[in-house]
Amino acid sequence: MTTYKIENGSLITLRLAEENDANEIINFYKQVGKETTYLSFGENEYLVTTEQQISTIKEINTSKNNIMVLALVNSKIIGIGTISSSKRKKSEHVGILGIVVSQNYFNNGIGSRIIKYLIDWCKTNKITTKVSLSVRKDNLKAVALYEKFGFSIEGVLKNETLIDGKYFDILAMGLMLDTV
Ligand SMILES: CC(C)(COP(=O)(O)OP(=O)(O)OC[C@H]1O[C@@H](n2cnc3c(N)ncnc32)[C@H](O)[C@@H]1OP(=O)(O)O)[C@@H](O)C(=O)NCCC(=O)NCCS
């Protein structure tokens, strides 16, 4: 667990998700699903039950190459970062990064803290050697943030996302941990 202060004086805590966070996590994902179109799920599409969320957290916390980190202010979730990896030998070394911060807390360095936490964890779990992610090409802020941490663009998936009749390209980005 790590705690620090942001400019407006709020104390931010970063810690691993626990099973009793399940309902708060669901509510948070439902909320951010409304706030942004940059996530893979839209409004009313985070259809996970409490039992399913608990079982996911249990699985994450007993695995060596998966993690869910919560950013909290006064015990309220304001950001979540995840590394999700396969159990299969051929791909267990690839950690897929997911991140979202509540829009009320954008541009306070919280996303950067979460990404650093995830990358540092990957470097020490003795399995992950590459971090991958997918990001909408027009999500310039996220792309800049990933580049700041050393991610590079590995490819473009054309028309992968369709929102209200408009297609968007997705960038595949990657970070090799043995070179950072
Ligand atoms: C992307 C996201 C996680 C960033 O979180 P955050 O807490 O606002 O990030 P930070 O405050 O650490 O960093 C923001 C950086 O982007 C920069 N920035 C802000 N707007 C920008 C823009 N339009 N273009 C480029 N950079 C921008 C800021 O200056 C800051 O740069 P710095 O680190 O050099 O100071 C957050 O905006 C978010 O959750 N967005 C919606 C969901 C999403 O897009 N998730 C990623 C899906 S792949």
In angstroms, how far apart are the furthest CA atoms of the chain?
A: 45
Query: What are 137-153's pLDDT values in tens digits?
Result: 999 999 999 999 999 99
Structure tokens at 141: 């802020």
At 7 the pLDDT is 87
The closest residue, in CA terms, to atom 6 on ligand 1 is 111
At 40 the pLDDT is 94
Contact (CB, 8 A) for 54 and 22: yes
> Given the CA of residue 140, which atom of ligand 1 is nearest to it?
24
Which range of residues forms the domain containing residue 142?
Answer: 2-179
Is any ligand 1 atom within 6 A of the Cβ of residue 141? yes
Is any ligand 1 atom within 6 A of the Cβ of residue 108? yes
CB atoms within 10 A of CB 50: 12
- Give the residue among 95, 87, 108 at the shortest CA–CA distance from 5: 108
- Give the residue among 81, 153, 77, 92 at the shortest CA–CA distance from 116: 81
CATH at residue 37: 3.40.630.30
Query: What are 98-123's pLDDT values in tens digits?
Result: 999 999 999 999 999 999 999 999 99
Q: How many domains does the chain have?
A: 1
Residue 81 has pLDDT above 90, yes or no: yes
Is any ligand 1 atom within 6 A of the Cβ of residue 170? no
Contact (CB, 8 A) for 116 and 2: no
Residue 179 has pLDDT above 70, yes or no: no
Query: What are 12-70's pLDDT values in tens digits?
Result: 999 999 999 999 999 999 999 999 999 999 989 999 999 999 999 999 999 999 999 99
Q: What would the 3-class secondary structure string for 153-172 be?
A: EEEEEEEEEEECCEEEEEEE
